[in-house]
Amino acid sequence: MDNRHFIEVTRRICGSLDLDEALYDVFCYLKPRFPLDALLISIYETAPRQARVFAMAEEGGGFIVDEPIVLSEAAWSEINRWLEASCTQTIPWLRNQDHPINQEILHIVRTGTPSIQARRIDEFCSLTCALKVKQAIIGNLTFAAEGAHHYDRTHVDFIRQLNDPFAIALSNARRYMDLVHDHQALQRDARKMVGDTMIGADSGLLSVRRLIEQVAPTNSPVLLLGETGTGKEVVANEIHKFSNRSSGPMIRVNCSAIPENLIDSELFGHEKGAFTGAIGTTHGRFERARQGTLFLDEVGELPLAAQAKLLRVLQSGEFERVGGGCPLQADVRIIAATHRDLPTMVQDGLFRADLWYRLNVFPIVIPPLRSRKEDIPTMVNYFIHQKSTEMNLLRCPAPTPGAVDALLAYHWPGNVRELQNLVERALIISKGDQLEFFDFNPQGMALEPNQCKDESRVATLDEITAVHIRWTLEKTHGRIGGKGGAAELLGLNASTLRSRMKKMGIPYGRRELRIN
């Protein structure tokens, strides 16, 4: 192969992370110099047994196809023999028009593969080379030409030299597409949870917003603390959005959802053959979050062995894939979150003290919903509009009179997530313009005996509110106003609370109020 042509092909295939554009650029260059009607990059998948056309280029342009072609047992037998031989050396596979696999592919393309159907082709020959990175086959490059006997040994030598640039291009393109997919998926999840803005940033979460503004421009680790359902992931997303890494991906890891034997592979990736079932090299979350943010949700659930490996990465800035020996740089910003009491876990030997010190550089405590009830009306309105849109409702129902007051009287053990679920359930049940919150019985608050005798009876909102006011007064020993008084805990003015108590027949004064 002329060195000038090799340099030009390399420049074009590595010139863009959009593999379809780069492949078409190469096709346009080679078409006048090479027997060529289609240029394809494919991947052989052993489970299930199929060839997946990843990208292709022809006269009409370049395309990302991602279309599977299910092949026969006979075809797979030949493919496996060629793949085994290609693992040790580069062996281009020349198949003429009468080769059984070409005949089989031609029939499939004609009849059952809409994404890559083309004009009527009676016969074609092909030349395929396995694309390898460190002796691991990551895909295949195929030259195809209509007609018969277009390729010979001179073309075999030509395609053999293209392994390195095409393998690099394929590896980079797939990694780039994974990063884009992860980034888009996380942004969709964050928007689905509480939208593009952090509800309460100008009221109940004002102190949290100020901390976000201080730490976001830095690369320092952040530790988010708070009860389940308070919106730690939303705060993490805000930090990423206002950071210098906002153009990079934000990758989320739910540490509590990964089996212990898979944690290393999930975080750091693995090489082909590292363990049974590792049929290819896989990039871990640290690689996929490169130049972005890695969000370690529920970090307190990590087992001690995984904590030690995470600590080494944070200390050295390097990691290795499972089964690999080449250190990789961890170019990520760490945001960790937990609802657990990590200092107590450190004392009990359940969490490493040195990892705790590494993560606890800039802690942010996210208050529970019961401590910022002034945000509830805004949240209810937002969730009604959000869920109505998702459910394709013709109109957004309004809450019935007094419904939001009942929500303000509740102590919300499930926090924002519980409120969101309650609104969604009400929208599903509601059939009119007035939105009622059905099955809303505050947990942990027993009703008065005369309210519970009839199990079929549903307590009214006023009854539930009265019970909650009595329960709150018991906690404050009857004190209504001032710091720590019932009015402050309920998020009401003292005069408003006294008015409601008078209406409900709840006596004033510092006296012991019991809930029977």
- Give the residue carrying structure tokens 């797939």: 174
- The Cα-based distances of 248 to 211, 216, 398 in angstroms read 22, 14, 40
Strands (E), 92-247: 93-95, 124-133, 136-146, 222-225
pLDDT at 322: 87
User: In which band, very low, low, confident or very high, does the pLDDT at 180 lie, cut at 50, 70 and 90?
Assistant: low
Whether the per-residue pLDDT at 374 is higher than 60: the answer is yes
Whether the per-residue pLDDT at 138 is higher than 80: the answer is yes
Whether the per-residue pLDDT at 480 is higher than 90: the answer is no
Worst-scoring range by mean pLDDT, 32-41, 181-190, 333-342? 181-190
Q: Cα angle at 218 between 216 and 224, to 5 degrees? A: 50
pLDDT at 508: 61
- The Cα-based distances of 127 to 54, 422, 469 in angstroms read 17, 60, 79
- Asked whether the bond before 48 is cis by omega within 30 degrees of 0, the reply is yes
pLDDT at 116: 47
- The Cα-based distances of 286 to 40, 187, 325 in angstroms read 31, 18, 16
Whether the per-residue pLDDT at 342 is higher than 90: the answer is yes
Please, what is the average pLDDT of the chain?
A: 80
pLDDT at 509: 53
pLDDT digits (tens, 9 = 90+) for 414-471: 888 888 888 888 887 776 567 877 555 544 343 343 443 344 445 566 667 777 787 7
Reference 294, options 313, 322, 275; nearest CA is: 313
pLDDT at 412: 87
pLDDT at 471: 76
Summarize the confidence of residues 224-231 as an average pLDDT.
Answer: 91
Domains, the chain, with CATH or none: 3-172 (3.30.450.40), 197-366 (3.40.50.300), 371-504 (1.10.8.60)
pLDDT at 139: 85
Residues 6+ apart with CB under 8 A from 415: 227, 228, 229, 230, 231, 368, 369
pLDDT at 443: 44
**Residue of 475 and 244 predicted with greater confidence:** 244
CB-based burial label for 14 (10 Å; 0-12, 13-18, 19+): middle
Which of 18-27, 259-268, 300-309, 393-402 reaches the highest mean pLDDT? Answer: 300-309
What share of the chain in percent tops pLDDT 70?
A: 83
Whether the per-residue pLDDT at 265 is higher than 60: the answer is yes
pLDDT at 206: 85
Whether the per-residue pLDDT at 280 is higher than 50: the answer is yes
Summarize the confidence of residues 297-315 as an average pLDDT.
Answer: 92
Residues 6+ apart with CB under 8 A from 325: none
